[in-house]
A and B are shown apart, each in its own frame.
Chain A
Amino acid sequence: MKDKSEEILSVDNLKLYYPESAGLFKSSNTIKAVDDVSFKLINGETLGIVGESGSGKSSICRLILSLVVKTSGKISWFGNDLDGYTKKEMKDFRKKVQIIFQDPYGSLDPRMTIGSIIKEPLDIFNGQLSKQEKEEKIFQLMNDVGLSNDLFNRYPHELSGGQCQRVGIARALINEPSVLICDEPVSALDLSIQAQILDLLNDLKSKYNLTLIFVSHDLSVIKAICDKVLVLKHGIIIENRNTDDLFNNPKDDYTKKLISSVPSPIPLAK
């Protein structure tokens, strides 16, 4: 068994600057999407990242997965800097860190069946499995995320938003990753489905020993699921604390404002 307090992922002084092209003869500004962000991810915890739109939440997710090229900083996986990774090591890393996105329909290829969508990661990482082994795995995953077997040959446009999100989760989990990054996974769903998906994530977390990074702008969701919270504003971390601490006694004015602005139908318990 891994040490509970083991540090899986650490991010040091991460920066992502975009040049803002201001036309041919003007000097260009830089937009600081992520500015000097550092945090650590401990095995088994759920880390919440919260902030308003444009505060750099999604950029951090994409940076961790090397989907965008960072301006500077260091991302380490079990203490090893990702920059020094060979192609093969990078592939192993990608197998271990998966992401689910906000838009349930946008994250599924509309021309592929549910079965082949969930199968894609298997083809990349487990090419040696036979067709039948792959199918067994797919059906097992579909059961785990609560999808009926009938949906195997269906297409995304025939499914509801909640079902599509479950397909996304199944695809992310099929190679048994250790970290799952959830980029606003429930923001596009209605409240009752949100609750179902959050429950599902919680169940899967213990079943698959997952460590979650959970991005949201909704503080009630964060409160329900996260152990620790990063509060981001304009790409800068302004608070990095345990969830209970944060909600009971917010330090920064911005955090106070965020907490008081929650229009939740379920009043935040004191």
Chain B
Amino acid sequence: MNKQENIKAIEISKTLKGRSLWVDARRRLFLNKAAVISLFTLIIISIVSVFGPFFLQYNFSDTDWGSIYQPPSFETGHYLGTDGNGRDLLVRILHGGRLSLSIGLIATFVSVFIGVLYGTIAGFFGGKLDIFMMRIVEILYAMPYLIFVIILMVVFGRNIYFLFIAIGAVEWLTMARIVRGQTISLKEKEFIETSKALGQSNTLIIVKHIIPNLAGPIIVYITLMVPSVIILESFLSFLGLGVQEPLTSWGVLISEGSREMETAWWLLIFPGSFMVITLASLNFIGDGLRDAIDPKEY
């Protein structure tokens, strides 16, 4: 074979693609009906929350004293009714959805970032560093997180960005523990030893080998963490520590609705349903992903 032919043969063989573990996982995920339906539901809720308010005639902060506590009706255009200030509930739910979902995503991202970094370092280097880092995690675990968040809010003021960070800073502990455990079992694998024998730098071993192999458990944990973050935000809002008027979130809406549920049932039922459907979807997706990504282990 001359060089030209050789190169050609190489190009041809490179077109043959293997099935990566991700492709396998995606196939298994799409075979899971509950997960697929949940995925669609979640996508629809997100799209409607983001774009819906542009197509509605009311603004989320406009009060209308003429239509206080209107029940759901198609004639007035208040499809889900109005609240005690005459504001349209549907718009408020969609706006609340934007906030709740973005808190869920951003706070989760913050905690995954901190947790993965912390966990891989502790797990990979081991020894005294590991002991020291994990004791810190345990000390933080022992602190009542609510007090921690309240202190943060008091010190930094009730800024919604601090809400993101405060929640993220609380939620990373579990992530760090999970990642550390997985890293310890991974680093004993022979392909990591081979990399070390090759003189690969520790940073590159973590980036190239450890984190890609951790991606499965991390993704699963993300889908389970987003709902818990949304609930945490709702709880903080319920206590009046969360989002401030006229901004709103599902937690705020539910908290207001629960006060009026005897006179205006729609104020509790509708935001509540949105939240329940979203959380259930996320949990089903998480379940599906867990089965899809590592069918052996579960």
User: Contact residues of A with B, CB < 8 Å?
Assistant: 62, 65, 67, 90-91, 94-95, 97-99, 101-103, 106-115, 120-121, 124, 135-136, 139, 148-155, 157-158, 168, 171
Interface string of B1-45 (1 = CB under 8 A from A): 000001101100110111111000000000000000000000000
Asked whether B246 is an interface residue with its Cβ less than 8 Å from the other chain, the reply is no
What's the dominant secondary structure at chain B's contact region?
helix
- Contacts A109-B213, A150-B16, A152-B16: A120 and B10 contacting too (C-beta < 8 A)? no
Please state if B199 and A108 are interface contacts (CB–CB under 8 Å). no
Please state if A121 and B198 are interface contacts (CB–CB under 8 Å). yes
Partner of A152, one of B6, B14, B193, B212: B14
Asked whether B203 is an interface residue with its Cβ less than 8 Å from the other chain, the reply is no
Residue among B189, B190, B193 with most chain A CB within 10 A? B190
Extra 12 A-B pairs, beta carbons < 8 Å, given A113-B20, A158-B19: A62-B193, A65-B197, A67-B197, A95-B199, A97-B197, A101-B194, A109-B212, A109-B213, A111-B20, A158-B18, A168-B194, A171-B194
Asked whether B135 is an interface residue with its Cβ less than 8 Å from the other chain, the reply is no
| CB-CB nearest in chain A for B20 | A155
Partner of B198, one of A110, A113, A124: A124
Partner of B21, one of A107, A114, A157: A157
- Contacts A103-B190, A153-B18: A120 and B13 contacting too (C-beta < 8 A)? no
Asked whether B158 is an interface residue with its Cβ less than 8 Å from the other chain, the reply is no
Please state if B212 and A99 are interface contacts (CB–CB under 8 Å). no
**8 A Cβ contacts from B205-249 to A:** 208-209, 212-213, 215
Asked whether B159 is an interface residue with its Cβ less than 8 Å from the other chain, the reply is no
Which chain A residues border B190 with CB–CB below 8 Å? 101-103, 106-107
CA A62 to CA B20, docked complex, whole Å: 31
| CB-CB nearest in chain B for A140 | B6
CB B185 to nearest CB in A, in angstroms, measures: 12
Please state if A150 and B13 are interface contacts (CB–CB under 8 Å). yes
Which chain A residues border B20 with CB–CB below 8 Å? 111, 113, 155
5 closest A-B pairs by CB: A154-B18, A149-B13, A94-B199, A107-B190, A101-B190
CB B235 to nearest CB in A, in angstroms, measures: 38
Please state if A111 and B18 are interface contacts (CB–CB under 8 Å). no
Please state if B18 and A113 are interface contacts (CB–CB under 8 Å). yes
| CB-CB nearest in chain A for B24 | A157
Please state if B191 and A108 are interface contacts (CB–CB under 8 Å). yes
Sampled A-B contacts (30; CB under 8 Å): A65-B197, A67-B193, A67-B196, A67-B197, A99-B194, A99-B197, A101-B194, A102-B190, A107-B193, A109-B208, A109-B209, A110-B21, A110-B213, A111-B213, A112-B212, A115-B14, A120-B200, A120-B208, A121-B198, A135-B10, A136-B6, A139-B10, A148-B13, A149-B10, A153-B14, A153-B18, A154-B18, A155-B18, A155-B19, A168-B194
